[in-house]
Amino acid sequence: MNKETSTDLLVVGAGIVGLAHAAVAADRGLTVRVIDRDHQAVGASIRNFGHCCITAQSGELYELAQASRRQWLRFSELAGFWAATSGAVVVARTDAELAVLRELSASREPGQVTVLDAAATRAKLGPAGTQAGWPELIGGAFLRDDLRVDPRTTVGRIASWLDSLPNAEVSWNTTAAGFTPLPDGGVRVSTSRGDITASRVVVCVGHDLDHLFPEEAAAHRIQRCSLNMALGRMPDGFHLGPAVLTATSMLRYPAFVETAAAGALRDEVSTTAPELLEIGANVMFTQRPDGSLLLGDSHHYHQSAPPFLDESVTETLLEHLEATLGSRPRVIERWQGVYASSEVGPLFQQEVLPQVTAVSVTSGVGMTLSFGLAERTIDSLFA
């Protein structure tokens, strides 16, 4: 589109939450501009597992996740990015783990959470189910509704698709410097490349909300959660269908945590592998289309995240990944993930100035909730 200085919606932040808001709005015929201070996506949206963990949400988050799932599939067709509907498998090696899975399965509609024996679990994992060792595996569960995307490429694909539309534009290397509500409605946003006037502004900058609206971020007690993650490879021919979760995943995602059986599982892990609880581990992995495995992760909380990765944390994760797979992936990359976290609640959505709404997922499931949250926001702003 021709560059304009006014638009129906200005989105600040071209991560997945911001782009989801832009995509939903543009799909409804609104004019949309997206600005981002970086030259390309480099934040939380590309540093994660690419796992849309639909099934393991509960309450409001579950409703948003299911709405998001529908939109993920719609926009994967429109924007042309890879989205796998192969679900997720939670592998179980103890009775305590199976008890959590059975309880969740009983609470959901038939077929959404299917409890499996060891042989069926290996079969559901795809070819890798027979190639890997999977020691001590006694069963598991298949989570039907979970999705996977490639975090390294998806944000870029959505941004390029938006920029190709006649009613949308994505501007990189453009920083928002100030917001001025106008007396006749709308907002003038000062940027490093000139002013933009918008009827509505949505600020989706994740953990960096404190850079623009520090008082609001402080009131919601937003911190930075930093993660140790790695990219690895297994021997040639190793192919997984679903995402793979383990016992520690059941101690992090709300639908698992809310089961009565979760307490016994936490006690078991605290006895058998306390080092995992000490680093806030979620031992899980997903496979990218090129065959590499996204491996992780740990959780550490700060106002400003130190950039230094503790190798002992990564080694602990790799040891437990090896115990799950039966052999150790060959690590080819390591990095620090960072996302917004808050003990106040999993979502921040607030009108911080007239016609300016800030939206952050403060619970580490931004990919999962992004499109559902965007749909709800756009509904409220452009009713």
Q: Which two tokens stand for residue 197?
A: 């006037």
pLDDT at 383: 82
With CA atoms as reference, report the closest residue to 378 among 211, 146, 204. 204
Residue of 21, 14, 72 lying closest to 44 (CA atoms): 14
Enter the pTM of the model: 0.96
Q: What is the pLDDT along the chain (383 residues), one digit of tens a residue?
A: 345 589 999 999 999 999 999 999 999 999 999 999 999 999 999 999 999 999 999 999 999 999 999 999 999 999 999 999 999 999 999 999 999 999 999 999 999 999 999 999 999 998 888 876 788 899 999 999 999 999 999 999 999 999 999 999 999 999 999 999 999 899 999 999 999 999 999 999 999 999 999 999 999 999 999 999 999 999 888 999 899 999 999 999 999 999 999 999 999 999 999 999 999 999 999 999 999 999 999 999 999 999 999 999 999 999 999 999 888 999 999 999 999 999 999 999 999 999 999 999 999 999 999 999 999 999 999 98
d(CA 50, CA 366): 10
Q: Are 250 and 90 in contact (CB under 8 A)?
A: yes
- CA distance readout (Å), 122 to 117, 132, 135, 248, 319: 9, 9, 11, 19, 21
Q: What is the distance between the alpha carbons of residues 337 and 291, in angstroms, rounded to a whole number?
A: 21
Tokens 């080819």 — which residue? 332
pLDDT at 130: 80
Contacts of 267 (CB under 8 A, 6+ apart): none
Break the chain into its structural domains and give their ranges. Answer: 7-48+153-208+345-382, 88-144+222-342
Contact status, residue 186 vs residue 356, Cβ threshold 8 Å: no
Phi, psi angle pair for 171, to nearest 5°: -115, 110
Nearest Cα neighbor of 206 from 11, 27, 69, 53 is 11
CA distance 347 to 160: 27
- Supply φ then ψ for residue 260, to 5 degrees: -65, -30
DSSP code of 363? B
Reported in sequence order, the residue ranges of 49-103 that DSSP labels E, i.e. its strands, are 51-52, 83-84, 88-92
Instruction: Specify the CATH number of the domain 88-144+222-342.
Output: 3.30.9.10
* Cα→Cα distances 11→31, 267, 272, 309, 357, Å: 11, 44, 47, 32, 10
- Give the integer Cα–Cα distance in Å for 12 and 201: 8
Contact 114, 90 (CB under 8 A): no
Q: Residue 47 is which amino acid?
A: R
The residues facing 342 across adjacent strands are 222
**Domain 7-48+153-208+345-382 CATH superfamily:** FAD/NAD(P)-binding domain (3.50.50.60)
How is residue 221 written in tokens?
């007690």
Burial letters 158-197, b for 16+ CB under 10 A, else e: bbebbeebebbbbbeebebeebeeeeeebbbbebeeeebb
